[in-house]
Structure 1
């Protein structure tokens, strides 16, 4: 029997039971409306969904509060300086999301009078909004019936119907099964209830089946092996890259550069480096002739497609000498306000606290 047939066969009370559970146990999140009490602010839903892409709820909370305090609506965000938004985003990762955030806000203001469109088809036309995000916004912010499938929902549905085809090949099966149990009413609450279920009771390891409102219908529980779902195709090993990062200090300031507007960490303030990329190791040549000292510490960081190991070289820049290259001297006392990406923040902390700094 196919996943769709399974879903049709057993869909009866799934939505009703899950929504009843959600009404009592829904997580309280700053971007949500309470269960069955109207729709959440579309700006809040959009902002949170962009921030939550490949990022945990715990990590997003403080960033969401900061953004909504500084830029409370689309008009305010659209008028923001790019550098200010990128600095506020620093540490959240996947920086293309921040660039698309600005692009999207500006399109919404310019073309939609500052209001998000309500349909999936129109939402998909906006920068940074893909099929999942469009469905989530349509359902949660506007009450549209939409099939919302994130990683948590994939896990719940894979177990509910014991879908043994490995990810990502199983995605169409999972979506079809989710579609068959998504109710016409309260689709947004249903989507959030599924997400909550996957984030809590139906966890990756040791799911709490006795507490699950859908245990009565779960094939994986019946089979006694919920943890094997969803099946996954083994991932290829990440490429390992090496490079150097350079700490240049003068009179209580450190030299920062602005990264290219294209590519990894585009447009962000950073320490100078030796042009490592996802495909190539760094060339090892410092940005300027100086008395460089290599620290014994190294900094490691994992990106989506590769891992990076950086050596750190430090130097003191002579007073009165020409600046090293295009960039700016930034006060060490306020380095936390420079909006450095996590990688360069790690390197800065290592340089400042190594005890080997010149």
Structure 2
């Protein structure tokens, strides 16, 4: 017992109290901590909601309404959980953008980045499964459309779809297994997050300058604990405004209509955090090609440690990269806008052009940009 206590105290002391942290990191580094808090909120509220949820196609929609109307503070639990998913993605997207801007994916933190991409992929799957559970119109038809994409896999695609459904269409078996997986995956995300954090603490945190420094560091407690909690309080204020004043702002009205397999919604739209990838999916006219390209849009992030073509990490010393970085961010915003638009011109062509630039940035611009910057510096050309 004493050994366990000493080991626990050693872990807390080394990673939560005396962990050496670069003195110049700023509030952009808060979003890893905020993401962890969002995960904890999602797990806690999800466990309580699961106590009142009935995973049956005839009762799921009614059970959600009962949580909203009959369970004491059930409306608050549900709105925290549903809007918590959006806030979780906001925090994670900012966390990813910060990593891209300051080159946090480069050596020696490439495995930290790879686990982060895996976490992002698990988040997407978990959020999709959770979107099905209220069993409204968007839940049913979203499940039908997305699971049908698997049928594009040659030879075994149709068999895999039937295996996913547990039936010959999206039915009660589908809802049951999606509920089970949605309950399980957050705990896998929590485990992967601990690995992500352990790998980060093995080599130490990066900093805005992108340089390794073992001199200008201070203990994480109390300085950065206080800084993290200031950022967390600001984020909770934003979260609270969303929950109390605009709880359905980021949702879709059709999901307050009970699922009806005989009536197809006029415009099937996923949640906002899926829209850029959904736009890439539907920009490709071939079904299998669209699925492959959509998955590649996520997995290409895992190639960044090897795509990076210069020893300089931070964009503070790369003015050309800085402009191109913001052009890529603008591209992602355009894809998000296109994903919510009808499949018609001019939205189709805009989505295709934005999708091409998305991959062009990773596969051509980033690998060659370091060489171009070195050439401009060597010959003292302005950039």
**How does the TM-score come out when normalised to structure 1?**
0.25
Higher strand residue share: 1
Higher helix residue share: 2
Structure number, greater radius of gyration: 1
Which structure is richer in relative contact order (CA contacts within 8 A, separation 6 or more)? 2
**How does the TM-score come out when normalised to structure 2?**
0.24
